[in-house]
Amino acid sequence: MTAKKIYEIGEIPQMGEVPDEMYAWVIREDRLGVPEKAMQIEKMPVQKPGKDEVLVMVMAVGINYNNVWASQGVPISVIGEDTGYHIGGSDASGIVWAIGDNVKRWKVGDEVIVHCNRDDGDDEECNGGEPMYSKSQRIYGYETNDGSFAQFTTVQSRQLLKKPVHLSWEESGCYTLTLATAYRMLFGHPPHALRPGMNVLVWGSSGGIGSMAVQICKAVGANAIGIVSDDDKIPFVEKLGAVGVLNRKKYECFGQLPDVKDPKEYSDFIKKCRVLGKDIWNITGKKDVDIVFEHPGESTFPVSCYLVKTGGMVVICAGTSGYNLTMDARYIWMRQKRIQGSHFANLYQANQANEMMIQKLINPLMSECFQWDQIPLAHTKMMNNQHLPGNMAALVQAKKTGMKSLNEIK
Ligand SMILES: NC(=O)c1ccc[n+]([C@@H]2O[C@H](COP(=O)([O-])OP(=O)(O)OC[C@H]3O[C@@H](n4cnc5c(N)ncnc54)[C@H](OP(=O)(O)O)[C@@H]3O)[C@@H](O)[C@H]2O)c1
C-alpha cells in the first residue's frame, strides 16, 4: 500500500508507517454543550512521540464521564488555552506504532491498553512517594488535550499496560479507567484496605466504577452491598457477586444534611437514614459497613458518613449529583470515621488491577459497543443516565467487533 497523508477510519497503514494527519473527535469552545454538538470530527496532525513517549494506533476506546464534563465545559472548560481544542478519551486499546528514543519496555507492534495517569516522573512523589500526589499529575484525555478519540494518540511509555489476550479490542479498551479507579479506592488507602469478610456499600453498583468495585470485592472475598435506582438492575449486580442489592428509590435519606438546629427536621432525616441502615444490617448480619464506595456526592454523602462503621472509611472519587458535600461532624470525630478522597490510580495500581483482568478475576462488563461515528451519542446516553449497566466501548481502527489482535484484522 502506498503511504497516504491520512487514512480512512478502519484503514490500517503498513506497520509503523505514520501518516501526517488523522481523524479525531474535537471539542472547541464555541460549541460547548451536549456531546453531539460539542464533539465534531476534524482532521488533526498526528503528533510525533517524544523521547519517553509512544505513538499508539487506537483500535477501540472506552466511554467515560470525563468527556460528558468536557463537552459541556462543566465544572471547568478543559480546552487547551494555547491550542484551542480538546480531544477527549481516557481509555484505549491499540498497537504501538512508533516509539521515542528512550523507550525500552515497548516495541512497534505490541498490543496494549492505555491507562490515563500522566506525570513527568521527575519529582520526589514520582520517585519513592505517591505519583498521584505529584504536581505534574494529569488525567490524560481530560486534563491533557490529546486523548484517545482519534486514530492515533501519543502517550507516555509508562501509560501502557499489556492487552489481555482473551479480550477483544473493544472489551480491552473499555475498562481501565473504571477498574483502576475502583482498585485504588479499595486498596490504595491503608489501613482501610479491602480484606476478606469486609462489608462495602457500593453506590451506583451497576455503573462503570461501581460494577468494578463489586467484582473486586467478590474476587477478594469481601461482601459488596450494591445500591441501584431500578429493580431491573438488581439481577445484574447480584450476578457480579454482590451479597445484597437495594433500590435507592425506596428510601428518603438523600440530599444535603438538614439544619442541625432544627431538631424535628434533623431527627426525621436520621430516622430515614436508619431505614436504609436497617436494610443493610439485614444483609450484613447487623454489622455496619467498613467502607462506603462514594461518588454520587451531594445527595448521598450525609447518609454515607452516617452509615459507615466506627473507624470505617468513606472513600470518594466524584460528586455526580453535586459537590456541596455536607455531614454531621459529630459522627466523624466521635466515631473516628475517615473521609478519604481518591483519584484514578498510579501505574502500580493500574497494573495490579489489569493483572486481575488478565487472570480473568474481573469481567470488563462491556455493555455496548458503538461505531466510531456514534461516540458523541454514547456520551449523551451516559449524560442522561440512559446507558446500560457496565462500560461502553466504541470502535476506532478495529473495523469489526470480536477481533482480538491485529493479525485477525489484516
Ligand atoms: N476521580 C476519578 O478518578 C474518577 C474516575 C472514574 C469516574 N469518576 C467519576 O465517578 C462518577 C461515576 O462514574 P461511572 O463511570 O461509574 O458513571 P456511571 O456509569 O454513570 O455510574 C454512576 C452511577 O451512579 C448512580 N447515581 C447517579 N446519580 C445518583 C444519585 N443521585 N444518588 C445515588 N446514585 C446515583 C447511578 O446508578 P443508579 O441510578 O442505579 O443508582 C449510575 O449508574 C462520575 O462522576 C465520574 O466522573 C471519577
Number of Cα atoms under 13 Å in the Cβ half of residue 204: 25
Residue nearest to atom 37 of ligand 1 (CA): 204
Q: Which residue has the cell 466523624?
A: 332
State the distance from the centre of ligand 1 to the C-alpha of 332, rounded, in angstroms: 24
Q: Would the pLDDT of 109 be above 60?
A: yes
244-247 β-sheet, strand order: 244-247, 223-228, 199-202, 289-294, 308-316, 338-341
Q: Would the pLDDT of 408 be above 90?
A: no
Residue nearest to atom 47 of ligand 1 (CA): 65
Q: Which residues, other chains included, contact 82 with Cβ-Cβ below 8 Å and sequence gap of 6+?
A: none
- Ligand 1: nearest atom to the Cα of 342: 1
Which set of grid coordinates corresponds to residue 282? 439485614
Mean pLDDT of 130-150: 97
State the distance from the centre of ligand 1 to the C-alpha of 53, rounded, in angstroms: 32
Do residues 204 and 344 touch, judged by C-beta distance below 8 A? no
Tell whether ligand 1 has an atom less than 6 A from the beta carbon of residue 176.
Answer: no
Q: Is the dihedral of CA 330, 333, 337, 340 positive or negative?
A: positive
- pLDDT recorded at residue 1: 65
- 3-class DSSP state for residue 109? coil
* Mean residue pLDDT across the chain: 96
Q: Which residues, other chains included, contact 329 with Cβ-Cβ below 8 Å and sequence gap of 6+?
A: none
Pairing of strands 138-139, 53-63: unpaired
Dihedral of the CA atoms 185, 188, 193, 199 (nearest 10)? 10
Mean pLDDT of 58-85: 94
- pLDDT recorded at residue 258: 96
DSSP 8-state assignment for residue 182: H
Q: List b or e across 348-383, with b for residues whose CB sees 16 or more CB atoms inside 10 angstroms.
A: ebbbbbbebbbeeebbbbbbbbbebebbbbbbbbbb
Which of the four pLDDT bands, split at 50, 70 and 90, describes residue 221?
very high
Q: Which residue has the cell 457477586?
A: 241
Give the whole-angstrom CA distance, residue 76 versus residue 62.
Answer: 22
Which set of grid coordinates corresponds to residue 108? 512497534
Which homologous superfamily does the CATH classification assign to the domain defined by 21-175+364-409? Medium-chain alcohol dehydrogenases, catalytic domain (3.90.180.10)
Tell me the backbone φ, ψ of residue 358, rounded to 5 degrees. Answer: -60, -35
Q: Would the pLDDT of 252 be above 60?
A: yes
Percent of the chain scoring above 90 in pLDDT: 95
Tell whether ligand 1 has an atom less than 6 A from the beta carbon of residue 205.
Answer: no
Q: Would the pLDDT of 377 be above 90?
A: yes
Assigned CATH topology for domain 180-341: Rossmann fold (3.40.50)
Which of the four pLDDT bands, split at 50, 70 and 90, describes residue 242?
very high
- pLDDT recorded at residue 385: 86
What pLDDT, in 10s, does the model give residues 263-288? 999 999 999 999 999 999 999 999 99
Do residues 50 and 80 touch, judged by C-beta distance below 8 A? no
Give the whole-angstrom CA distance, residue 196 versus residue 144.
Answer: 38
Tell whether ligand 1 has an atom less than 6 A from the beta carbon of residue 344.
Answer: yes
- Ligand 1: nearest atom to the Cα of 254: 32
Q: Which residue has the cell 469481601?
A: 222
- pLDDT recorded at residue 246: 98
Q: Is the dihedral of CA 110, 114, 115, 121 positive or negative?
A: positive
Domain boundaries, the chain: 21-175+364-409, 180-341
Tell whether ligand 1 has an atom less than 6 A from the beta carbon of residue 382.
Answer: yes
State the distance from the centre of ligand 1 to the C-alpha of 81, rounded, in angstroms: 29
- pLDDT recorded at residue 117: 97
Q: What is the CA radius of gyration of the chain?
A: 22
Which of the four pLDDT bands, split at 50, 70 and 90, describes residue 342?
very high
Which set of grid coordinates corresponds to residue 212? 468494578
Mean pLDDT of 90-117: 98
Mean pLDDT of 131-137: 97
Do residues 145 and 78 touch, judged by C-beta distance below 8 A? yes
Question: Which residue type does 217 have?
Answer: C
Mean pLDDT of 355-379: 97
Q: What is the DSSP string of 264-282?
A: HHHHHHHHHHHHHHHHHHH
Which of the four pLDDT bands, split at 50, 70 and 90, describes residue 406?
confident
Tell whether ligand 1 has an atom less than 6 A from the beta carbon of residue 206.
Answer: yes
What pLDDT, in 10s, does the model give residues 296-323? 999 999 999 999 999 999 999 999 999 9
Number of Cα atoms under 13 Å in the Cβ half of residue 219: 19
Q: What is the DSSP string of 298-316?
A: TTTHHHHHHHEEEEEEEEE
Do residues 81 and 131 touch, judged by C-beta distance below 8 A? no
Partners of 96 in the β-ladder: 56
Q: Would the pLDDT of 169 be above 70?
A: yes
Mean pLDDT of 229-235: 96
Do residues 89 and 153 touch, judged by C-beta distance below 8 A? yes
